[in-house]
Chain A
Amino acid sequence: GAVVSQHPSRVICKSGTSVKIECRSLDFQATTMFWYRQFPKKSLMLMATSNEGSKATYEQGVEKDKFLINHASLTLSTLTVTSAHPEDSSFYICSALSGLAGTYEQYFGPGTRLTVT
């Protein structure tokens, strides 16, 4: 149980276009999901907390107008990178918070590698 999927796994887009990344909890409901980005050989940096039915909470320094997050259902959160630029190229990873069995653990998706040309 507690499987999280992401789609797409890889995407290449041209500078100036927008890209949407989906994060789904497959076998549990997640009222809270998190979005991270990770540069090569670096740590995961929390971008925002996505709450079902409400606005996302962004970490300091993350542009909310550039990284649009929508959490429309208990199993789906989307991250849209708007007007992408080469510096947005990164590995984007989501996680979903599961409250199964009274524990609160984050389950991570497999990640999406974004390359902006």
Chain B
Amino acid sequence: GQSLEQPSEVTAVEGAIVQINCTYQTSGFYGLSWYQQHDGGAPTFLSYNALDGLEETGRFSSFLSRSDSYGYLLLQELQMKDSASYFCAGTTSGTYKYIFGTGTRLKVLA
């Protein structure tokens, strides 16, 4: 089967940096995406890694290590509006479907 594990909850203060980890067991792994979801809303795309290394998009960066079956999302200069759930999602070669991780609820404190 396929599974992607994340910490259930992370708390940080405004202005801080936080890292959300994702470890996966996925046969035929192709790439890792990250999504943000506010309560009651739809997931919105943040970042995608098909290759090992760091991808930077503004305050958000994502990292992938295929050899370690591990990735993370790094959020810098945290803002209150970053309080949301964050999901990693894995794709497998030959298909475009996502398997979502267990999700991490981020709380940003003033």
The 7 closest A-B pairs by CB, nearest first: A108-B42, A44-B100, A43-B103, A43-B100, A110-B42, A108-B43, A104-B96
Q: Does B101 contact A (CB under 8 A)?
A: yes
A114 vs chain B, min Cβ distance (A): 14
Give how many A residues have a beta carbon under 8 Å from the other chain's beta carbons: 22
Q: List A residues at the B interface (Cβ < 8 Å).
A: 32, 34, 36, 41-46, 49, 93, 95, 97, 104-111, 113
Q: List 24 A-B contacts (CB under 8 A).
A: A43-B87, A43-B101, A43-B102, A43-B103, A44-B43, A44-B100, A45-B100, A46-B97, A46-B98, A46-B99, A46-B100, A49-B95, A93-B42, A93-B43, A95-B98, A104-B96, A105-B48, A106-B45, A106-B98, A108-B43, A108-B44, A109-B42, A111-B41, A113-B40
